[in-house]
Amino acid sequence: MSKDLVKDLAIASGSKIVLIVFDGLGGLPRGVGERTELETAYRPNLDALAARSVCGLMDPISPGITPGSGPAHLALFGYDPLRYEIGRGILSALGVDFDLKPSDVAARANFAQIDARGNVIDRRAGRISTEKNRQLCELLSQIKVPGAEIFIRTEKEHRAAIVFRGQGLSGRLSDTDPQKLGVPPLTVQPLSEEARSTAEIVNRFVEQARQILAREERANMILLRGFDQYEALPSYAERYQLKAAAIANYPMYRGVARLLGMTVLPTGDTIQSEFETLAKYFQDYDFFFLHIKKTDSMGEDGNFEGKVKVIEEADRSIPILMDLQPDVVVVTGDHSTPAVLKAHSWHPNPVLLYSKYCRPDQVRAFSESDCLQGGLGRFPAINLMPLMMANALRLNKYGA
């Protein structure tokens, strides 16, 4: 859409929308004639919901394109990811609850191990503990470089977020992470003229960090990637007239939600606790984004059975959701993560949309193959928010 049609038509209302995202939901069969992870799972509650819903298959971006989690979620939330590009660094900083200011430059940091010749031998420093990470971040917080204030925050295991704040900074910077082993970390290069001084600042930081970390056995280096400068996006309240809340137990997803002005609700580590959080706050918001991470983690690990179990675990919590009598429910994925690929993939995700006004189809089970026959057909994720808004009777008529 050339205009922001949904923003122009959005109206406030008392209706409640719940978007359940299974990260990396879509899968692949392990062999000819076999079933996907979702098709294998015992999922009576999701199937019963699908039977009352309109279903379809949804491309994260467009056919053939495999997205990262950032662009995939932006699309689910109705923000064109080709227009709103967000660097990994911004997502990481938002995910550790760092209070980013406009024009801050952020990057994703990995503690890594280099050998005596300075070549990277482990890009994750043996996945050090989160506790160790915290100690190292504290050490690195001593570093002072003229021209910028520097913040470094533990994310999880070997991962951290780093933020540079100051006048005239730019995020147009190359990575120091060489993305392979046996070679030294790279020097940050400015990707445009105005990024020259920021590149110098970052390189000075890395040099000091290297000296401080030199005494460490494993995490003796830091690698930076995904530099980006923070710009606020139009919020859910502005665009959709929705008071939105996010329930997610992984930092990056909380970060994307916060970027769009959603309130991040405190929740527990289990899927059931996420649904209980939904129930607890149900009266306080119009829109809920509930994120289930472990389908993706299991897929990335190539753990087919593990992914099946996560789906079954989530299925058991669906009654908590339906007892709340929400007006609109969507269950889908942000992208596929088939265990056989051990990676994100381009395959479309099954989607079910339940509402009183959804015009149900003949689909009686929630799976890739069943949803293919659904009334929503095949569509790009960017169309999902208008469909949810419409089913919540939250969009005015377009034109007279």
Judged by the rule CB under 8 A, the positions of this chain that interact with a copy of itself are 1-3, 5-6, 9, 28-29, 32, 36, 52, 57, 61-72, 81-83, 85-88, 91, 108, 226, 338, 340-341, 343-347, 357, 359-362, 368-369, 372-373, 375-379, 383, 385-391, 395-400
Q: How far is the CB of 216 from a copy of itself (least distance, A)?
A: 26
Q: How far is the CB of 220 from a copy of itself (least distance, A)?
A: 25
Q: Which is nearer to a copy of itself, 188 or 339 (CB)?
A: 339
Q: How far is the CB of 82 from a copy of itself (least distance, A)?
A: 6
Q: How far is the CB of 399 from a copy of itself (least distance, A)?
A: 4
Q: How far is the CB of 66 from a copy of itself (least distance, A)?
A: 5
**Is residue 134 within 8 Å of residue 128, measured between CB atoms?**
no
**Is residue 98 within 8 Å of residue 251, measured between CB atoms?**
no
DSSP letters of 163-213?
EEE-TT----B--S--SSSSSPPPPP-BSSGGGHHHHHHHHHHHHHHHHHH
- Amino acid symbol at 127: R
Round to whole Å and give the CA distance between 164 and 107. Answer: 9
User: 331 phi and psi, to 5 degrees?
Assistant: -120, 125
Q: Which is nearer to a copy of itself, 267 or 350 (CB)?
A: 350
Across-strand partners of 297?
none
Q: Which is nearer to a copy of itself, 233 or 271 (CB)?
A: 233
Sequence-distant (6+) residues with CB within 8 A of 386 are: 5, 6, 78, 395
Round to whole Å and give the CA distance between 399 and 87. Answer: 37
Sequence-distant (6+) residues with CB within 8 A of 29 are: 35, 36, 39, 340
Q: How far is the CB of 68 from a copy of itself (least distance, A)?
A: 4
Q: How far is the CB of 202 from a copy of itself (least distance, A)?
A: 18
Q: Which is nearer to a copy of itself, 185 or 338 (CB)?
A: 338
Q: Which is nearer to a copy of itself, 101 or 342 (CB)?
A: 342
**Is residue 171 within 8 Å of residue 228, measured between CB atoms?**
yes
Round to whole Å and give the CA distance between 385 and 367. Answer: 21
Round to whole Å and give the CA distance between 174 and 163. Answer: 15
Round to whole Å and give the CA distance between 208 and 145. Answer: 9
Q: Which is nearer to a copy of itself, 159 or 218 (CB)?
A: 159
Q: Which is nearer to a copy of itself, 250 or 275 (CB)?
A: 250
Task: Give the residue among 332, 294, 348 at the shortest CA–CA distance from 66.
Answer: 348
* Strand order through the sheet with 328-333: 263-264, 244-248, 287-292, 17-22, 328-333, 349-355, 54-59, 377-380
Q: Which is nearer to a copy of itself, 139 or 372 (CB)?
A: 372
Q: Which is nearer to a copy of itself, 278 or 382 (CB)?
A: 382
Q: How far is the CB of 13 from a copy of itself (least distance, A)?
A: 14
Task: Give the residue among 192, 134, 189 at the shortest CA–CA distance from 159.
Answer: 134
Q: How far is the CB of 212 from a copy of itself (least distance, A)?
A: 27
